[in-house]
Amino acid sequence: MRRIAIIGAGSIVFCKTLMLDIMATKVLEETEFVLMAPSTSKTTQVKAFADKVIAHNGLKSKVTITTDRREALRGADYVITSFQVGGVDLFEKDYKIPLSYGVDQCIGDTLGPGGVFRALRSIPVILDVARDMEELCPNATLLNYVNPMAMICWALGETKIKYVGLCHGVQTTLDLISGYVGVPKQEIDYVSAGINHMGWFTKLSHKGEDLYPRLREKFEEPEFYVNEKVRGEVFRHFGYFMTESTGHLSEYVPWFRSSQEALDLYCDEPSFGGESGAYYTWCTYVADKYREKDVLADEPVDLPPRSVEYCAYIIEALETGNTFKFSGNLRNNGMISNLPEDCCAEGLVFADRNGLHRTVNGDLPPQCAALNMTNINVQRLTVLAAKTGDPETVVQAVALDPLTSSVLTLKQIREMVTEMMIAQQQYLPQFEGRLPRPTPTINIPANVQRADVPIDPALAVYSRFGELAK
């Protein structure tokens, strides 16, 4: 039996989806699922449901549960990670503390203060998983679903394990594009490349016809533009369509959430998911709804068709050699030539019996690469902070965040980061109680005289202009 360890199997609905996908794949029928979470309160529900599915469909799979990560990883052929360190309680702090300073996040799991702190909590855990894999299952492949994807996979790229980061932004955006241009999704030829949650469709065609002129025309029509204002605006100004929704994209750039006017114009429409705290509100609703309920007790036990998630298709390709192509997240290493070699890039990956193979995309359009770099700068410093435990690097990472820097001064950013670190210190052991150094306000009296020090020549020129103006 192949052994698949799911680390973070308390994510009930998502765990169920991945397991059903694998069970519905004929060549993966003989699989032992090892479900690991810090407690068994949720994994017992998943196991009970999976056992019913196995019995009903006459499958050869089996399911075990454990709270011991090393036990789960021992001898695994594949490892799936889908954990959230701190759960909804920490997510609340990721959202509400920045909001009290004026930083309005919609999703808060990829960039911004929320994404940075989710990474600070999660990177030490994913590196522990990688170290355990190097010892207990060195030939296993890790399929990561933990966000922030780019930062997690950046850290994994510095280990020795085989891994890939998986997201569904590309395939779900293709559904949207298909509807806009009136071409079946499966008939669209495309190239998507960039970073996770900010990938760019650099090619869209159908039977040799460039679909971009048709898509651009649609986004000049109010009834289409209104569905995706943020993504539509970036498309209109940067020339290429992006893989993420209004809610996600609005907090990766400085233009849509930096004032109430911008929020009202582009984001505060609940039906389109750009409103303040949309994802936190949803997660809270789900957590409250299912806190005392067996979510899977009444779920149907017939095997459904496989979902759009890549996981089962990749494992099938690695097992059988039948090639599967998908958008994956890996250390760049030349995949996108005008992004840093060591960053996590998202692009076309092939899976077969020989493993995972990145493709060479070449350069992104320069304006797209530049926008990616505004996020990569934050990712780099966040990964560094998570590994070194330096609180100053956390301040610097958040200070470079496009949304935060459009709203706060450096001193305000430092104060916000300090408050977040104090609130989450239990989940940030690498900082050992260390906090950013305080920077008190320097009070400048109205009659203060400049110190007798050398003046920047450029400043002297500007001063002379001032004298002449008088």
- pLDDT tens digits, residue range 54-89? 999 999 999 999 999 999 999 999 999 999 999 999
Q: Which residue has the higher pLDDT, 287 or 231?
A: 231
The number of domains in the chain is 1
Give the pLDDT score at 274.
84
Domain that holds residue 239: 88-108+167-276+309-431
Q: What are phi and psi of 255, to 5 degrees?
A: -100, -10
| Residue 97 within any structural domain of the chain | yes
> Which run of H or of E encompasses 150?
helix 149-156
Residue 259 within a domain: yes
Please say whether the beta carbons of 307 and 17 come within 8 A: yes
Q: Is the overall model pTM greater than 0.75, yes or no?
A: yes
**Residues labelled as active-site residues:** 168, 252
pLDDT reported for residue 453: 80
Q: At 319, which CATH number?
A: 3.90.1820.10
Report how far apart, in Å, the C-alpha atoms of 197 and of each of 25, 250, 337 are.
28, 11, 19
- The average pLDDT across 10-14 equals 85
> What contacts 22, CB < 8 A, 6 or more positions away?
4, 28, 31, 33, 61, 311, 312, 315
Residue 297 belongs to a domain: no
Evaluate whether residue 466 is within a structural domain.
no
* Residue 39 belongs to a domain: no
Higher pLDDT, 331 or 42: 331
Residue 145 lies in a domain: no
Note whether residue 151 is domain-resident.
no
The whole-number average pLDDT for the span 174-182 is 93
**Angular region, 273: left φ>0, alpha ψ -120 to 50, beta rest:** left
Residue 186 in any domain: the answer is yes
What's the whole-number average pLDDT of the chain? 93
